[in-house]
Chain A
Amino acid sequence: MRKAEEIPQIVKYPFPHVIVRDFLDMATLDLVIDALAGLEYEFNESDLFSYLSFGLTDIDHPVINILRDDLGDEFWRRKVAEKFSVKPISKIDMGAYVYGLGDFLLPHDDQVEGRIIAYSLHLTDIGITEKMGGALHIYEADKLGKSTLVESLIPEYNSLIMFEVSNHSWHQVGEILDDIQRLTVTGWYHA
């Protein structure tokens, strides 16, 4: 079950984002990680990214169903919409992503019709450090497209990062530089 019932103050710069720590209770967390470990991930790569993934939006699995509720039940969707001051959220989608050595996701803004808030629940329990790579880099970009790195969010176990999707929401996942597996459940809240 969800442990966190409140969302901290939204950080407005360079675009609205927040970290909710201790998102799940430990029992649920263990079950979720076990369930994710049993999936058959597909390797995906393009000019923009390299990672393993597995779609979770439509699968019927007792633990994933609980996680889907924890991330997307009516209470939490209302909280998220209120906190970010966005229109009501109708649904979520979700997928599991594993980044290993050399994997990355280059800068992009996540804009696809209907997406309001992006989220990422971090599930790697080894204590990722900056040197290992895999941080979520948050950028500010000027009108010409020149970027400034504003913040590097190191993945924290059982933390949920959310940000508002807009034409300012430039971010990337830094290249994994060590032999680790950066596991997340990631997706978007939709209008």
Chain B
Amino acid sequence: MPDINFYYLEKATLSNLKRIFNSSDFPFVRLSKFLDIESVDYEPKLEREEKIGYYNREKGSAILEEFWQSSEFIKFLGRITGLKPKFRSANHLNYSPGDYSLLHIDESEPNRLSVVYDFTRSWRLEWGGYDLYTSPDKEPLICNRDLGSLMIVKLEKGDLSCTRYVSLKSKKSTLIDFIIYDLD
């Protein structure tokens, strides 16, 4: 299993991250260079899945499936968020040019912690493909692609998320491990 960047395990950092996470209108934190990505074997096995009007993308097992389920990572999540996340699912998602998901795929979701780890290389903003989080009465949260970043977002019932349309002009694909943890 890959190691978490030691910086994020220091007591002072953890304390700071917890404060940042819980002080945002939209509770989130973004951790760049979270793992040593070069040490990760990137060999996804993907199948296309489409539900027109909802999503069109490729999906497979998460690259770091074991890591996302590990007690080490779940404990780390708990320390950063002050919550008690319970692992639900982990998938690897590939959004190629023309692919998309729409916000209403989350319509019936309960309270949860959304975790996205980014494997996307050499991305350009104008290609879209960013993660979008919305909540009633809050400003939308946009998370642009950034190789090696971990995004942790607390979503409540009624909050929605998606990966926005990837331009046909894109030369790359959006590649993410997408993990959901249930919250009480």
Contacts and interface: CB of A to CB of B under 8 A. Distances in A.
A108 interface: yes
Name the interface size band of chain B: 10 to 19
A108 B54 CA distance: 9
A106 interface: yes
B64 interface: no
Interface in B135-184: 162, 164-165, 167-169
B52 A147 contact: yes
Interface residues of A, number: 20
Contacts of B41: none
Given A133-B168, A175-B168, A106 B102 contact: yes
A106 B165 contact: yes
Interface in A152-191: 170, 174-175, 177
B132 A47 contact: yes
Contacts of A145: 50-54
A48 interface: yes
B165 A104 contact: yes
A63 interface: no
B46 interface: no
B10 interface: no
A144 interface: yes
A141 interface: yes
A102 B126 contact: yes
B169 A177 contact: yes
Among B53, B103, B164, max chain A CB count under 10 A is at B53
Interface of B: 50-54, 56, 98, 100-103, 126, 132, 162, 164-165, 167-169
